[in-house]
């Protein structure tokens, strides 16, 4: 991978990792489901005025929008409101890799390799340590919601694969319109109009900047650049870069939000990252042999 492409990949990982701290800032004033609805509204509009819909079935776009919008980010924002720290959220949500493998195996009929079972065992051990120490950064509810968010992310990955290599930017923009209605309905039902109105009134410039960053930086730049890299390099070369997301996420949370980093949290992070690394790099190493 040329150096400019490598730097772009690192930039995407830095944006995705530090975004968990940005989410924490936005949640100080905005209810989580409202925040998710605002994020995807800005992803869709005004770009939809200039970008044509991709040549993909509307049912596919709707499924992706609901899974990623209401599923992944709706649940993740709910968890991060008060039940899991940004650093741990950036780590646990990467379990989507294993959920994606499981769903892919189920749909394709392939068998799980021995190295994948070993990788899953390592990552599960790390998440178990987080669960045991649930008073130190994640409640059982927060951990469960984040794992469900990862499962929805995996479902979105499988749905996007069925889109047949559609251009990512139009795909993200036009699928976002399907994320907004369920998020608005859920926000009205579970958060209520008084909380929504109070959140909108109390939101300061930093909160709105965080919302814009969610849409422009994290979604439009991040996903488009990632797809661009995947279109020019083998997936085995690009995907291991995703290991940097929790590294940036936990580092930013510790530096900016003063999130504690006790020994158990470092051990849990090491086990999860070791599992992710084994799963992502073993096929590449085997191919080189």
Mean pLDDT by 10 residues, the chain (289 residues): 86 92 93 96 92 94 94 95 92 86 74 81 88 80 94 90 84 94 95 94 92 90 82 70 85 91 89 85 73
**Distances in Å between the alpha carbon of 167 and those of 5, 73, 213, 229?**
19, 22, 22, 13
Rounded to whole angstroms, the Cα distance separating 100 from 109 reads 14
pLDDT at res. 279: 79
Please give the pLDDT value at position 63.
96
Model confidence, pTM: 0.86
Query: What values do phi and psi take at 129, rounded to 5?
Result: -65, -40
pLDDT given at position 55: 92
Put residue 137 in one of left, alpha, beta given phi > 0 → left and psi -120 to 50 → alpha. left
At 78 the pLDDT is 95
Cis, bond preceding 102 (omega within 30 deg of 0): no
């Amino acid at each position: 991978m040329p150096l400019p492409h490598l730097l772009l990949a690192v930039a995407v990982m830095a944006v995705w990792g530090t975004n968990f701290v940005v989410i924490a800032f936005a949640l100080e004033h905005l209810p989580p489901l409202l925040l998710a609805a605002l994020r995807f509204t800005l992803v869709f509009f005004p770009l939809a005025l200039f970008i044509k819909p991709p040549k993909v079935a509307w049912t596919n776009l709707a499924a992706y929008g609901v899974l990623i919008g209401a599923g992944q980010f709706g649940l993740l924002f709910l968890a991060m409101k008060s039940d899991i720290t940004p650093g741990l959220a950036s780590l646990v949500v990467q379990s989507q890799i294993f959920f994606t493998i499981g769903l892919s195996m189920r749909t394709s009929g392939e068998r799980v390799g021995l190295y994948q079972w070993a990788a899953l065992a390592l990552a599960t051990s790390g998440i178990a340590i987080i669960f045991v120490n649930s008073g130190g950064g994640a409640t059982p509810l927060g951990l469960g919601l984040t794992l469900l968010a990862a499962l929805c992310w995996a479902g979105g990955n499988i749905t996007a694969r069925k889109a047949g290599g559609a251009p990512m930017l139009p795909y993200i923009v036009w699928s976002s319109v399907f994320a907004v209605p369920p998020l608005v309905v859920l926000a009205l039902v579970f958060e209520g109009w008084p909380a929504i109105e109070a959140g909108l009134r109390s939101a300061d410039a930093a909160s709105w900047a965080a919302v814009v960053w969610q849409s422009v930086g994290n979604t439009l730049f991040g996903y488009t650049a990632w797809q661009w890299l995947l279109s020019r390099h083998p997936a085995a070369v690009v995907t291991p870069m995703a290991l940097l997301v929790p590294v940036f996420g936990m580092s930013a949370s510790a530096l900016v939000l003063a999130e504690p980093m006790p020994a158990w949290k470092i051990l849990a992070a090491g086990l999860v990252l070791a599992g992710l690394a084994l799963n992502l790099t073993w096929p590449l190493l085997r191919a080189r042999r």
